[in-house]
Amino acid sequence: MIISVINKKGGVGKTPISFSLAKDLGYELQSNDNSVIETIYPGKARIGRPILQDDCVYDFGGFVDSGVLDIIKASNAVIVPCSVDYNALMRTVETIEEIIAVNFNIIVVITKTEKESDFETFRDEISSFFEELYFLELRNSKIFKNSMETGKTVTQLYFETPLSKSAYRTVYQQYQSLIELFHSDK
């Protein structure tokens, strides 16, 4: 299975989503953008020019070049995170416009939502540009920052303590909806 995570906009959650998915699925993680992944996922993460391989999650930051497009074309799924601000919305639309011609298996993950209407508004706006995209929500949560700081996945952080299970319940359930898409394909 090959999973690409991409958006031309920074700060939408590409790296925390990529890292958590890769580690929870037991996959390699590659990125073309500087980040902490080699530190928090030693021996399984690599930064540099991406190399196509099975059982890998790709964290593509900020730009689409020919090497990236080749991997997106070969991907079983392409996740496009979009945070709830209008600059992110426009960059998400641009990103999808560039990749949909090579891979239409796109999952748009609306991130950093505060309420259900945030998700609905951004889903509806993106849907006005494209037909038949799949949408999921990931609520705004400290779990993503904590994941990058600790090297623990969303799943690992959720199960740490009874308090973490309470604090992260909603976002963990949403994340499980995403990861289950890939467990069912194994």
The mean per-residue pLDDT over the stretch 154-167 comes to: 97
The pLDDT, as a whole number, for residue 184 is 60
Q: What does the angle CA 107 – CA 113 – CA 115 come to, to the nearest 5 degrees?
A: 120
Digit-coded pLDDT (tens) for 30-64: 999 888 999 999 999 999 989 999 999 999 986 66
Q: Residue 152: is its pLDDT beyond 70? A: yes
The pLDDT, as a whole number, for residue 66 is 66
The mean per-residue pLDDT over the stretch 144-151 comes to: 96
